[in-house]
Amino acid sequence: MRNSIRTSLAFSDPSDPHDYQKRLLRSLHNGRNLSISKLSKLGFTVREIEILTGISKSSVSRELSED
């Protein structure tokens, strides 16, 4: 776990303040990007899902309401 955190921080994009979070989440899930519904089931808020996926809050909200 410690190595995953260090790697995420070391290789993150300094111009994107949330890049390390995206990298850490991806590394914890074996390099896969998680779906919006999976992120929601894991307890992430619409705002957090927007940050992690790059999809607008309205699109995230719309997709979650369809499920």
Residue 2 in 3-state DSSP? Answer: helix
The one-letter amino acid code at 54 reads G
Judge whether residue 65 has pLDDT over 90. yes
Confidence of residue 61 (pLDDT cuts 50, 70, 90): very high
pLDDT of residue 33: 82
Q: Find out whether 27 and 7 touch, Cβ atoms under 8 Å.
A: yes
Q: Find out whether 38 and 12 touch, Cβ atoms under 8 Å.
A: no
pLDDT of residue 44: 96
Give 3-state DSSP helix, strand, coil % of the chain, rounded to 5: 65, 0, 35
The residue with greater pLDDT, 48 or 29, is: 48
Q: Find out whether 34 and 40 touch, Cβ atoms under 8 Å.
A: no
The string of pLDDT tens digits covering residues 1-33 is 888 888 888 989 999 999 999 999 988 888 888
